[in-house]
Amino acid sequence: MAVFTNMDVDGNGVFDFQESKSYLFQNYISMGTTTGEIPKMLNGYYNDTYAPTPSNYHLVLSCMGDSQTIGTNATFTFPSPVTSANAVVTSTTTVTIESTGGGEGWTCYSKINNCPIISPEVAPAGTYTVVVGTKTYTFRNFKATSVLKVGSNNGLIYPVFSLVTNEAGYITTVNYKWKKLVNGTITTPTATEIKAAVENTALSTSFVHPSPFISFFSDSSTLIGSIIRFERDSSSLNITSYNIKLSNVHHIQAAYNLTSQVVCKFDLGL
């Protein structure tokens, strides 16, 4: 029923669906950047000892079919105070509008001084607002799911990758297998467990955000390989057509939806 209290997020008196506007409010589980992982993936080798460790949880608002000026400041208000990455306790903070790509929308990350605000594993329930100029976006009756429980006593399912390159140094194949981390012990999950934990569809017709996906970056923020979809129930992905040269890769980002409101992502570096 919470959906029906959020049919006019921007409060302009017109239902969002009548204006082809979509808003997605999510909690991201960030695993941080792990260096030294890419060399361990080369030529079919899996690093079976790798296990991501949650470094922070932060809230992300994505909008499609709406427009804002990239770089504009916005005010992000929480229903109750949370602790940020730089140890400031706040319920209202200034954030910056960022592009979602393609000029079709915008994204707003909850940050202070470019550091993601650390939400509890289960974000505070209640009403969130984002104010940009004279426009207010309101999300009512937000309630996080307990699937976020991936802390020290966790039950996290995650992919481990290996890369195959050709003689010219281009990545031709991404092999992967799913692992499960429970109380510090790595095991192999069953197909049923994977399907129960990892969503395998786009979030909506408006948000082209397939899950799971892997992306390749040439530096800390420049994407050189478009979001490449891989599946829950297969183990090999041919990416020859993307023409990604290993020597140009700064880091690899893997992400997958645990639910439509929760994204788990981690970066693997050189």
Domain count for the chain = 2
Q: Are residues 262 and 164 in the same domain?
A: yes
Q: Are residues 141 and 223 in the same domain?
A: no
Q: Are 236 and 174 in contact (CB under 8 A)?
A: yes
- Give the closest residue to 118 by CA, choosing from 234, 23, 216, 28: 28
- Mean of the per-residue pLDDT values of the chain: 77
Q: What is the mean pLDDT of residues 147-169?
A: 76
What are φ and ψ of residue 246, in 5° steps?
-55, -35
Q: What is the mean pLDDT of residues 75-81?
A: 77
Pairing of strands 89-99, 105-109: antiparallel
- Give the list of residues 6+ apart from residue 120 with CB closer than 8 angstroms, or none: 57, 82
Q: pLDDT confidence of 21, banded at 50, 70, 90?
A: confident
Q: Which 8-state DSSP code applies to residue 2?
A: G
Structure confidence at residue 153 (pLDDT): 52
Q: Are residues 265 and 162 in the same domain?
A: yes
Domain boundary among 114, 147, 180: 147
Identify the H or E element spanning 257. Answer: strand 251-259
Cα–Cα distance for residue pair 51/265, rounded to 1 Å? 12
Q: Are residues 101 and 122 in the same domain?
A: yes
More confident residue, 154 or 38: 38
Structure confidence at residue 86 (pLDDT): 47
Name residue 159's amino acid.
P
pLDDT at 171 over 80: yes
Least confident of 44-58, 93-107, 140-154: 93-107
Read off the pLDDT of residues 199-227 as tens digits, 9 standing for 90 and up: 776 555 555 556 788 889 988 778 887 77
Q: Are residues 102 and 203 in the same domain?
A: no
Domain region containing 48:
35-54+150-269
User: In the beta sheet, which residues pair with residue 174?
Assistant: 163, 237
- Give the closest residue to 148 by CA, choosing from 124, 125, 122: 122
Read off the pLDDT of residues 43-60 as tens digits, 9 standing for 90 and up: 778 888 888 877 666 777
Domain boundary among 121, 147, 173: 147
Give residue for tokens 């910056």. 96
Virtual CA dihedral for 248, 161, 202, 151, nearest 10 degrees?
Answer: -110
Q: Are residues 92 and 125 in the same domain?
A: yes
Global model pTM greater than 0.85: no
Structure confidence at residue 197 (pLDDT): 78
